[in-house]
């Protein structure tokens, strides 16, 4: 719907903006102490890929890293 009402360039800008905001939000579990460095490292790498490609499939890998970090802590 957005490409029809606002055009392709506007839509692409919004996709990138929302992807960057999502990438910033994925650091919050580490900052709040819920996760350790495994999650932070995975979030950093996967967020970089997510921003570059802006695809949904990397979100599953990020949540997988969250589960791995929960059950196998390095602290």
Task: Tell me the pLDDT band of 27, cut-offs 50, 70 and 90.
Answer: very high
Domain boundaries, the chain: 2-71
User: How far, in Å, CA of 12 to CA of 28, rounded?
Assistant: 25
Please say if the pLDDT value at position 68 is more than 90.
no
Question: What percentage of the chain has pLDDT greater than the value 90?
Answer: 31
Cβ contacts of 55-63, under 8 Å, gap ≥ 24: 62/26
Position 60 scores a pLDDT of 62
Q: Can you give the pTM of this predicted structure?
A: 0.64
Please say if the pLDDT value at position 51 is more than 90.
no
Orientation angle between helical segments 8-25 and 37-53, nearest 10 degrees: 180
The mean of the pLDDT values for the chain is 81
């Amino acid at each position: 719907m957005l490409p029809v009402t606002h055009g392709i360039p506007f839509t692409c800008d919004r996709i990138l903006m929302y992807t960057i905001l999502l990438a910033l939000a994925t650091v919050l579990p580490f900052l709040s102490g819920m996760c350790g460095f495994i999650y932070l490292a995975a979030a950093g790498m996967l967020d970089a890929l997510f921003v570059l490609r802006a695809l949904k499939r990397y979100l599953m890998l990020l949540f997988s890293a969250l589960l791995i970090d929960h059950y196998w802590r390095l602290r």
